[in-house]
Amino acid sequence: MAANEPGQPDPTATLITHDLPVPASALAIGAHPDDVEFGCGATLAKWAAAGCVVHHLVLTDGSKGTWNADADIPALIASRQGEQREAARRLSGANAGEVVFLGQVDGELQASLALRGEVARVIRQLRPQIVLGHDPWKRYRLHPDHREAGLLACDGIVAARDPHFFKEHGLPSHRPALLLLWEADEPDHVEDVTGFVETKLHALEAHESQFESTMKAVDPDELAAFRDRISSRLAGLGAHYGVRNAEVFKRIADL
Ligand SMILES: [Zn+2]
Task: Give distance in angstroms: CA of 3 to centre of ligand 1.
Answer: 42
Please give the distance, rounded to the nearest whole angstrom, from the Cα atom of residue 255 to the centre of ligand 1: 25
> How many angstroms is it from 87 CA to the middle of ligand 1?
15
Backbone torsions φ then ψ of 66, nearest 5 degrees: -160, 150
Residue 62 alpha carbon to ligand 1 centre in Å: 8
pLDDT at site 156: 98
d(CA 246, CA 157): 26
For residue 5, report the distance from its CA to the centre of ligand 1, in Å: 45
Cβ < 5 A residues, ion ligand 1 = 31-32, 35
Instruction: Using a cut of 0.85, tell me whether the model's pTM lies above it.
Output: yes
Q: How far is the CA of 188 from the centre of ligand 1 (A)?
A: 22
User: What is the predicted pLDDT for the residue at 217?
Assistant: 81
pLDDT mean across residues, the chain: 94
CA of 221 relative to ligand 1 center, distance in Å: 24
Could you tell me the distance, in angstroms and rounded to a whole number, from the CA of residue 134 to the centre of ligand 1? 9
Which pLDDT band, with edges at 50, 70 and 90, does 8 fall under? Answer: low
Instruction: Give 145 Cα–ligand 1 centroid separation in angstroms.
Output: 7
Reply yes or no on whether the pLDDT at 48 is more than 90. yes
Asked if residue 124 lies in contact with residue 243, where contact means CB atoms within 8 angstroms, the answer is no
Kindly report, residue by residue over 155-208, the tens digit of the pLDDT.
Answer: 999 999 999 999 999 999 999 999 999 999 999 999 999 999 999 999 999 999
Instruction: Tell me the pLDDT tens digit for each residue of 80-112.
Output: 999 999 999 999 999 999 999 999 999 999 999
- Mean pLDDT score, 223-242: 96
Q: Measured in angstroms, how far is the CA atom of residue 155 from the centroid of ligand 1?
A: 19
Centre of ligand 1 to C-alpha 108, Å, is 12
The rounded distance, in Å, linking the Cα atoms of 76 and 88 is: 18
Distance 89 CA to ligand 1 centre (A): 19
Q: Tell me, letter by letter, the H, E, C secondary structure of the chain.
A: CCCCCCCCCCCCCCCCEECCCCCCEEEEEECCCCHHHHHHHHHHHHHHHCCCEEEEEEEECCCCCCCCCCCCHHHHHHHHHHHHHHHHHHHHHHHEEEEEEEEECCCCCCCCHHHHHHHHHHHHHHCCCEEEEECCCCCCCCCHHHHHHHHHHHHHHHHHHCCCCCHHHCCCCCCCCEEEEECCCCCCEEEECCCCHHHHHHHHCCCHHHCCCCCCCCCHHHHHHHHHHHHHHHHHHHHHHCCCCEEEEEEECCC
